[in-house]
Every structure is written in C-alpha cells, then in structure tokens.
C-alpha cells in the first residue's frame, strides 16, 4: 500500500483539479484496506480469505449544490475523470442549504494525537489458523459440547486520508485482530448454541484463544434444557454483551439526523435528565487503542471526548456539520463517511460508565427476575421508544441465576428503561459500543 504522504498528495492533486474544473470547494477521501480471515470446523480448515481494496471519493461544491463521485481506479487516467464527472453532477442537483465544508478553525490543527491504534505487520495465515484451532479445540473439550460451528480468527487494517480546500490534510491507520468460537451442546432437538470472541486493535491485547473457546463451550452447556416462564413484570438484568444494545438505541435516538427530522422519541430531551442521577455515558474518540478511535472525523473536524449523558442528563446530540447547521448548533465532530457517501453522524468509542456495585450485588435482592444473555429481532420503535425483543437467558431466583429460559419477550419503553437503569462495575471495552451489566426495574417479561 502507498504511504500516507503519497495518499495525501493524490488527494491534493484531485481537489486542485476540481477547483480548476469549476468547484467552489471540494474534499476528497482515500480509504485503503486489507483483511485476512480463517475459519476451521471440527479440525478441518473451511476458509482462508484475503482481500485488499483502495477507493477514493471526491465531493465538490458549487454554491450550495454538492455531488460525490468515487472510484477504485487510482491510475492518473482514472483520477483525471473524477472532477468533471462530479462538477456535472453538482450542477444537476438541487441546492442543499446545509451542505459545506468545515470552517478552518474547526479542523484538526497540527499533528494528530498518537492513539496507538495501529499494530504494524500482517500476521501469517498460519498464526490465524493456530488461533482458530486453539479456540475450537478448547470449546470442544468442554463436557457437554457435541458439535461445532467453528473457530475463526482474523486481521484487518485500514488507512484513511482526507484533504480539502479548507486546509484539511491528515491521515491515520488502524488495525484490528479477532478470534472467536461458536459451538453447540446437547443432542437431537435439545441442542443449544453459544459463542465467545475477542477483538482488539493490537494482537497482544486479545484474550487467549483457549479462554475464548472454553467460555464459548461453557456458555452453550449452561443453556441446555431451557424452560418457559409465565408473563410477569420483574427486574431484568442485561449481560454486557446485550446491555450494549441499549446504548445503540440511545445513539440512534440522539443522532443529529433523527433529531433534525423529528423522528426520535428523545427530540425534546436535550438538557433533561433521562437516566438516574450519577449515570454517565461517554463518547471518547481519543481513547488509546480504542476500536473506534480517530483523531479527526470524516469532515476533518478535531475530535474530543465528551459526556453525552452526565449525571443522568442528556448534554448533547451526536452531530456532523449538516445536522448541526439544521439545528442551529456546532458539530460535535462525529461525521463518518465512505468514499461514495456523504457524511452522517455516528458515535465513536461509546460506553456506559461503570457503576459501584458488582453484578452479584445488583441481583442480590431479586426474588424473581430475568437475566438476559441474548436478544432476538429488532422490535424497537425509535419514534415512540416502544421496545419489545425476543430474549433468552436465565431465570433469577433469590438473587441467583437458577435455570435457563428461552422463548420469551422483554418489553417496555426506552424512556422507562433508561430512567430505571442501574449499571454494575464490570465494564470491559470489547465492541466499540460497550456497557457493563445493567439492571432495569419494571420491565415486562412475556412468556406463557
């Protein structure tokens, strides 16, 4: 792959040609990526796949008209075609009063902060095969595990360069490594599946493959012989791998695009308490080795950590330039885009801060309740906040998970769910959107 200086020079040449062709302003983004993935099932290799791609996107502005063209042809001839195509498209589209580049004072100025988000060097395929094998073998060694969906391992890297006529010119690289296992326990029609995985920016931060496999096997065995329960309104505990979905709903609800359109149940909640006192939700694009860290957003705006929820109060929307202008606000530096699409707001390392009690302490006073480990379906209405999703997990009796449960639905409204949420102290950064174990009082568990 070309180095970052070469990438930026290509973009500078491209936007200069766009200006010569008639653009009032322009920006260009170049994304190069590579990936290697392997999978193994029951001791036999199933997949070994490697891919590379490089794409460039050019956005031009003529007054308040804008257009985007993209290409994977980075030859001089291929790049030379883009400005004229973009100009012709821009002249044919209606005006957008909210489009435009960032002001120079909003841009990342000087050197980008070192976020340590690139582990140099592509791993050998044999290394990934070994990780996948160790994960699957450890999972299959758990008593009660009877079949495998496989062990997987992967590596990827992406290099991003952005330049614009407002003076923006920066680039960064990121890497990611992963290992996973998925297995089944039981026999015949009484089988249950579960999985575990680890993902990290640096290979050295991955969970050991044997541990990943063992946890996958143990989780599958624990799910055997599930029962149904009667419909009841009880406290519900969300395991960290599903509690993060609630943060995903929050991110969708405070997206500047949804707020500007009025299509979110949170559109009137800015500055109001929507979580209990003490609850903090943070977005931190500058977290070292974070899975979604970045020193600048897709419009070149400098990024910064911020408490989206502070002491339970909603303090900000997630904004790019366009949604910020629609709402009469300043961008929060959350623009994301690919080479062929316009920017749109998206969170970075988005997480619910840990509470002060352990998961065991959160459950201690629950006589009857539900511990959720898996959610099914997408039954969330973002306009009203109504929430209903299929679920499985474990029934809680006298403060302890007692037996597995499946075939139920957890329901409520996100306003009430957020208002009655208590976080535990077991936050881990595994996904990019993360939450600890949480307790929510007053949800309905619909069963038989």
At 73, phi and psi to the nearest 5? -95, 100
Q: What is the pLDDT of residues 291-318, one digit of tens each?
A: 999 999 999 999 999 999 999 999 999 9
Q: What is the pLDDT of residues 383-416, one digit of tens each?
A: 999 999 999 999 999 999 999 999 999 999 999 9
Q: What is the mean pLDDT of the chain?
A: 96
pLDDT band at 189 (very low <50, low <70, confident <90, very high): confident
Number of residues assigned to the chain: 448
Between CA 170 and CA 160 the distance in angstroms is 8
pLDDT band at 210 (very low <50, low <70, confident <90, very high): very high
CA–chain centroid gap for 213, Å, is: 23
What does the block give as tokens for 226?
């599930």
Q: What is the pLDDT of residue 403?
A: 97
At 231, phi and psi to the nearest 5? -60, 135
Closest by CA to 447, choosing from 290, 270, 234, is 234
CATH number of 4-220: 3.30.2290.10
Q: What is the pLDDT of residues 91-149, one digit of tens each?
A: 999 999 999 999 999 999 888 899 999 999 899 999 999 999 999 999 999 999 999 99
Q: What is the pLDDT of residue 372?
A: 98
Contacts of 105 (CB under 8 A, 6+ apart): none
Contact 199, 402 (CB under 8 A): no
| pLDDT exceeds cutoff 60 at 1 | no
- How do the domains of the chain map onto residue ranges? 4-220, 226-448
**Distance, first Cα to last Cα, the chain:** 58
Highest averaged pLDDT of the listed ranges 185-194, 351-360, 374-383: 351-360
pLDDT band at 2 (very low <50, low <70, confident <90, very high): low
Give the pLDDT mean for 26-54: 96
């Amino acid at each position: 792959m070309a180095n970052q200086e070469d990438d930026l020079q290509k973009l500078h040449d491209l936007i200069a040609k766009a200006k010569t062709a008639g653009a009032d302003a322009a920006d260009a983004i170049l994304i190069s990526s590579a990936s290697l993935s392997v999978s193994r099932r029951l001791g036999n290799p199933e997949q070994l796949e490697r891919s590379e791609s490089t794409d460039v996107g050019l956005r031009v502005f003529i007054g308040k008209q804008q257009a985007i063209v993209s290409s994977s042809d980075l030859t001089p001839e291929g790049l030379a075609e883009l400005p004229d195509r973009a100009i012709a498209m821009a002249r044919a589209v209606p005006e957008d009063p909210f489009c435009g580049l960032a002001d120079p004072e909003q841009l990342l100025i000087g050197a980008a902060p070192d976020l340590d988000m690139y582990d140099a060097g592509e791993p050998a395929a044999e290394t990934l095969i070994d990780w996948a094998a160790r994960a699957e073998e450890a999972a299959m060694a758990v008593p009660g595990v009877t079949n495998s969906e496989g062990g997987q391992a992967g590596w990827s890297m992406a290099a991003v360069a952005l330049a614009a006529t407002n003076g923006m010119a920066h680039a960064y690289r990121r890497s990611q490594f992963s290992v996973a296992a998925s297995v089944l326990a039981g026999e015949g029609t009484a089988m249950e599946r579960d999985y575990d995985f680890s993902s990290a920016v640096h290979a050295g931060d991955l969970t050991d493959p044997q541990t990943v496999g063992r946890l996958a096997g143990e989780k599958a065995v624990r799910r055997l012989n599930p029962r149904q329960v009667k419909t009841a309104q009880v406290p519900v505990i969300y395991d960290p791998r599903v509690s993060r979905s609630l943060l995903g709903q929050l991110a969708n609800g405070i997206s500047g695009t949804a707020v500007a359109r009025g299509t979110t149940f949170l559109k009137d909640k800015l500055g109001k308490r929507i979580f209990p006192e003490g609850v903090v939700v943070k977005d931190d694009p500058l977290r070292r080795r974070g899975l979604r860290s970045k020193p600048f957003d897709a419009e070149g705006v400098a990024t910064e950590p911020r408490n989206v929820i502070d002491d339970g109060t909603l303090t900000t929307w997630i904004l790019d330039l366009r949604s910020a202008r629609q709402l009469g606000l300043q961008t929060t530096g959350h623009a994301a885009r690919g080479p062929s699409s316009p920017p749109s707001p998206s969170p970075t390392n988005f997480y619910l801060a840990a509470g002060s009690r352990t998961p065991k302490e959160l459950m201690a006073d629950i006589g009857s309740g539900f511990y959720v480990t898996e959610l099914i379906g997408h039954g969330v209405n973002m306009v009203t906040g109504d929430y209903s999703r299929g679920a499985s997990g474990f029934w809680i009796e006298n403060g302890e998970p007692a037996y597995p449960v499946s075939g139920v639905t957890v329901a409520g409204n996100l306003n009430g769910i957020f208002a009655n949420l208590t976080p535990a102290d077991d936050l881990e950064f595994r996904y990019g959107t993360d939450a600890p174990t949480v307790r929510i009082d007053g949800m309905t568990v619909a069963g038989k």
